[in-house]
Structure 1
Amino acid sequence: MDEVIIRNKNDIIRYIDANPRTTKRIGILFAIAMTSVFADAYDFSSISIGLSSMTAELQLTPTQVGFATSAMAVGALLSSLLGGVIADRTGRYRLFVICGVLLVIAPLGIAFAQNFAVLLAFRFILGVAVGLDFPVAFSFMAELLSSETKAKWINLWQPVSSLATITGVAIALPFALQHLTEHLWRFTVGFGAVAALVALVLRLFYSEESPMWAARHQRLDKAVAVLEKAYDVKVRIEPDDAPEEPVVTTDAPGVKTLFARRFRPRTWLVSITAFTQSLQYYAVGFYIPLIAGYVFGADLVSTIVATVCAQLCALAAGMIQSALTTRLGIIRLGKIGYGIVLVALVLLGIFGVHNDKSISLLPIVLVAIMMFGHHFGPGPLSKTLAPISYPTEIRGIGSGWAETLVRVGSICGLMAFPIALATFGVSTTMFLVAVFPAIALVALFVIKWDPQRDAVDLPDDAVADQAPAPAV
């Protein structure tokens, strides 16, 4: 077993930033931190594919369908910032466990809902759980990995999301083949609780406090104990002459800190990318089955297969971008991805989607290309940029702020897309959506911030408004 000499709390942070070591326990902790990613994406796809059966069984009005589909996003919107504040103030572990319990209860409540009120309540609870869990999960992942590898590994959340989406849709396929679609949405949504239960058990057995958060907020001996357990190393404490820094007990910084002079450029970039990618994805991605329906008509099996194919392109993009993250950097990947999305949306606007007797696969191909581009750059950027852009003291609130903007974008996309589709038609709607990746591209070229050029967890990057801001 390796031995590490620690003289003060900053040595712990330096060790993690420079340490390429990945233990089995780190891998398990990283995997269970992805639970909320899986739950969010799985719910997205399972509700999307089961929307027709849910509407028919519960006899929902169009207004009720709108409230039911957006309730999760609203819950996540209201809880994301709170999750960041709690994570920064009390640590990562407690919230991890609480959210794990909610991620099991909520899908079961949705699956057994007998009326609109119960459905709405549990979808809101699921949103609250995901909103609370995302900031702590991504902060936790960022604080387990070295500066060199954290962007690459955190970016794996995107293929995990794609895999969850494919799972949610694919589970419906056997039922569709047997024409057993009456209670389809109950089966697809309910399965999400099984995956969440497995993750909860793993959280209870393996989860622990973030070593970086412990270094900032706990005594040196406790922080060292966390470091030893997580990285399977033996630590010898050789205190330096300086007195030990007091345990931080002050209130966690708020959103105002994110817009302080030093952090303002990175916060604007985090905000713009989080909002735009979410709007473009939830406007088009959620309605892939609907777009497929325009092409294939009422054939549910063909719709499911087309949706899975589009998501497989997204999965491939997620894996490729993760492998290229260290070489190209997440900012450059974001530029390439947004460019692909912009071109695909413009081509969709030009060629349109027609539901006449002649079936054309072109719209499905273009949607698949759009999904590839989204998962290659904008998607990973939206959740990875914040946790690797802020120091430990404000990482939770920074990740929570990014997740809040993601939810605002998702609500706008979910609500605006069907209205625009009914009002303007497919072609004009695609042109309107294309405005947002164009805005993001401008921001990525204008705002000169790249978190992979600087280490943000060292003591000189603490929450202080002293150093000059990066150029804009």
Structure 2
Amino acid sequence: MQAPAIRLRGIDDVIAYIDSCPGIRGRAGLIWWLALGGLFLDAFSNSALSAGLGPMTRDLALAPAQVALLTSFASWVAIAFNPIGGWMADRWGRVRPLILAKVLAVVGAVLVVFAPTFEVILVGRFFVGAAYGIDFAIAMAVLAEFTPVKLKSRLNTWQGMWYTAVCTNLLLALLFHSWQVGDAIWRYSVAATAIFGVAILVLQLLFLVESPTWLARKERLEAAALAMTRIYGRPFTAAPPAERIPVLNQARRGLANVLLIFRGIYLPRTILAATVQIGQSIQYFAIGWYLPLISAALFGKDFVYATIGALVFNVCGIVGGFLSPVIGRRLGLRRASAFGFAAVFAMLLVLGLFNGKMPLWVAVVVPSLFILFHSGGPGANGKSLSSLSFRSELRAGANGVIGALGAIGAALGLLVFPLFRAEYGLEKTFLILSVVPLVASLICFAIRWDPTRTAVHPDNEADAPQFRGDTEAPSPFLNPAIEKSRP
């Protein structure tokens, strides 16, 4: 006998049911992991050139300025497309922009694989940057909207997926090297990106369902009920119009919604999330992304040894990334970021002061700890903080703006490392860049907001900033039908 339909009166009923779930299972779990799969593709696309950067530089006879432009170009493009992707998701929903991002990623990869010149590669990296900018803002919003409140810190799992993608790239680079493909090895790495992109595109087309939280926040309760039925495998129905509860603090001004994240209670949250996002982006893309080159400087120019060294470093990223939900749950996202930045600062000081003077085992341990502290602390938290700190119709837009700021940090990191290294040497570059995690750590200790340490859901905050004329309503009570249906 089929269970009676659960009646949805508004956004709170959707949130209450999702929060009542003991885990993220069934179709909801599949959607959750498919969103993570898109982030895997973003990481794979971004690191595809990393493993083969040395051979690519020789193959195309690139000058340091060209290397800096090539490696940072996708991040510069993402600066524009992060807020565009957030705006698209807040206006048209989550699914269509996610699919568009995969199409752009595949197009960009194909262009780079067959590019005859440096300029064509830049065009391909433009599409990769657009895909990265659109996808990250939206995928993190999807993860937040399908995650029960007690599992908020699980959003940090994306960091483990990032390093899994990087390590997969490095393993594939070793495979391609065994094929004796020479300095063209970078084309094979990018071709693998296209294959992964097509696979994830097909899976997302088949299985993604629109976020019921976003639909309910837009007061599209019939569509939200249909989405909930498809996702959770039990009947939901929209309440009659007379029983529906108006949406609290609905923002209806399109792009102007972005201004709300710089007002009232949202301002310190925006500063905190932006600080973590910018700081972790600079330190990762200035140091972590160039680990194959740093590994070559430590262990010699042989491609296999340098790649294995970088692989060892990034395995620590997998460990830290998948531990970050546990660390975030124990310490909170803010304190985990603060302590992580402080530890990264210490590792950069050691690298700057003692690089070249350390025993080999220490030279392996210190970069490994850098990646471990980064991935276990601030690496995941910038995007998680922005995804959990704002109500649903602002969430993707906020992710877009804060993601754009992070993309600026990534572009700066990718740009300055080869230039600083050529101008000042590796050791002084480490010391200069150590200022970034130091400042970020101090800001994280100073701002007290943490979405994993509050009992009020952002969609229900009565004092949230709003535009004049927005609908206001008292926080509604939970739906008794949902209370009775708790798994």
TM superposition score normalised by structure 2: 0.89
Which residue is 2:133 aligned to?
131
Amino acid paired to 1:60: L
SS of 1:171's partner is helix
- Residue-pair matches, total: 463
SS of 1:155's partner is helix
Amino acid paired to 2:156: N
Contact 1:262 1:465 in 2 (8 A): no
Contact 2:153 2:326 in 1 (8 A): no
How far has the Cα of 1:250 moved from its partner?
A: 4.3
Which residue is 1:204 aligned to?
205
Which residue is 2:83 aligned to?
81
1:29 aligns with 2:2: no
Unpaired runs of 5+ in structure 1? 468-472
Which residue is 2:104 aligned to?
102
Unpaired runs of 5+ in structure 2? 473-487
SS of 2:195's partner is helix
Which residue is 1:8 aligned to?
10
Spell out, residue by residue over 1:3-39, the C-alpha distance to the aligned partner (whole angstroms, 9 max, x if none). 5332334322332234334232112111121234222
Which of residues 306, 311, 314 in structure 1 aligns to 2:314? 311
How far has the Cα of 1:428 moved from its partner?
A: 2.1
How far has the Cα of 1:59 moved from its partner?
A: 3.4
Q: In terms of mean alpha carbon deviation, does 291-300 or 306-315 score higher?
A: 291-300
Give the distance between the partners of 2:108 and 2:369, measured in 1 at CA: 33
Contact 2:320 2:373 in 1 (8 A): yes
Give the distance between the partners of 2:293 and 2:73, measured in 1 at CA: 20
1:385 aligns with 2:381: no
1:293 aligns with 2:314: no
SS of 1:418's partner is helix
> Share of identical aligned residues, percent?
31
1:334 aligns with 2:337: yes
Contact 1:43 1:168 in 2 (8 A): no
Which residue is 1:48 aligned to?
50
Give the distance between the partners of 1:238 and 1:67, measured in 2 at CA: 55
Give the distance between the partners of 1:382 and 1:396, measured in 2 at CA: 14
Amino acid paired to 2:153: A
Which residue is 2:370 aligned to?
370
Amino acid paired to 1:429: T
Contact 1:252 1:393 in 2 (8 A): no
Contact 1:279 1:412 in 2 (8 A): yes
Which residue is 1:263 aligned to?
266
Contact 1:348 1:366 in 2 (8 A): yes
How far has the Cα of 1:236 moved from its partner?
A: 4.5
Check 1:62–1:324 CA distance in 2 against 1; reply closer, same or farther (3 A cut): closer
How far has the Cα of 1:321 moved from its partner?
A: 1.9
SS of 2:236's partner is strand
How far has the Cα of 1:241 moved from its partner?
A: 4.1
Contact 1:84 1:397 in 2 (8 A): yes
Which residue is 1:400 aligned to?
400
Which residue is 1:279 aligned to?
282
Which residue is 2:120 aligned to?
118
Which of residues 344, 347, 353 in structure 2 aligns to 1:344? 347
Give the distance between the partners of 1:91 and 1:264, measured in 2 at CA: 25
Give the distance between the partners of 2:399 and 2:150, measured in 1 at CA: 19
Spell out, residue by residue over 1:305-341, the C-alpha distance to the aligned partner (whole angstroms, 9 max, x if none). 1000000011111122223433332222212322221
Check 1:39–1:353 CA distance in 2 against 1; reply closer, same or farther (3 A cut): farther
Which residue is 1:164 aligned to?
165
Give the distance between the partners of 2:47 and 2:241, measured in 1 at CA: 54
Give the distance between the partners of 2:374 and 2:322, measured in 1 at CA: 13
Give the distance between the partners of 2:260 and 2:239, measured in 1 at CA: 35
Contact 1:80 1:401 in 2 (8 A): yes
Contact 1:275 1:405 in 2 (8 A): yes
Which residue is 1:58 aligned to?
60
Check 1:420–1:58 CA distance in 2 against 1; reply closer, same or farther (3 A cut): closer
Spell out, residue by residue over 1:377-396, the C-alpha distance to the aligned partner (whole angstroms, 9 max, x if none). 01011211100011112101
Contact 2:222 2:237 in 1 (8 A): no
Give the distance between the partners of 1:248 and 1:317, measured in 2 at CA: 37
SS of 2:183's partner is coil
Give the distance between the partners of 2:405 and 2:61, measured in 1 at CA: 32
How far has the Cα of 1:459 moved from its partner?
A: 5.8
How far has the Cα of 1:196 moved from its partner?
A: 1.2
Check 1:430–1:391 CA distance in 2 against 1; reply closer, same or farther (3 A cut): same
1:235 aligns with 2:239: no
Contact 1:289 1:304 in 2 (8 A): yes
SS of 1:265's partner is helix
Q: In terms of mean alpha carbon deviation, does 306-315 or 216-225 score higher?
A: 216-225
Check 1:239–1:353 CA distance in 2 against 1; reply closer, same or farther (3 A cut): farther
Check 1:21–1:427 CA distance in 2 against 1; reply closer, same or farther (3 A cut): closer
Give the distance between the partners of 2:342 and 2:314, measured in 1 at CA: 19
How far has the Cα of 1:342 moved from its partner?
A: 1.4
Contact 1:175 1:181 in 2 (8 A): no
Which residue is 2:453 aligned to?
453
How far has the Cα of 1:352 moved from its partner?
A: 1.7
Amino acid paired to 2:334: I
How far has the Cα of 1:146 moved from its partner?
A: 1.4
Spell out, residue by residue over 1:141-161, the C-alpha distance to the aligned partner (whole angstroms, 9 max, x if none). 111111221322x11100100
Check 1:78–1:252 CA distance in 2 against 1; reply closer, same or farther (3 A cut): closer
Give the distance between the partners of 2:356 and 2:219, measured in 1 at CA: 58
How far has the Cα of 1:411 moved from its partner?
A: 1.1
Give the distance between the partners of 2:269 and 2:302, measured in 1 at CA: 46
SS of 2:7's partner is strand
Check 1:389–1:257 CA distance in 2 against 1; reply closer, same or farther (3 A cut): same
Contact 2:60 2:118 in 1 (8 A): yes
How far has the Cα of 1:169 moved from its partner?
A: 1.1
Which residue is 2:153 aligned to?
151
- Compute the RMSD of aligned alpha carbons: 2.3
Which residue is 2:254 aligned to?
251
Amino acid paired to 1:171: L
Amino acid paired to 2:44: Y
Check 1:25–1:102 CA distance in 2 against 1; reply closer, same or farther (3 A cut): same
SS of 1:148's partner is helix
Check 1:294–1:213 CA distance in 2 against 1; reply closer, same or farther (3 A cut): same
SS of 1:449's partner is coil
Give the distance between the partners of 1:382 and 1:9, measured in 2 at CA: 26
Give the distance between the partners of 2:280 and 2:3, measured in 1 at CA: 43
SS of 2:254's partner is coil
Spell out, residue by residue over 1:290-309, the C-alpha distance to the aligned partner (whole angstroms, 9 max, x if none). 11111222211110110000
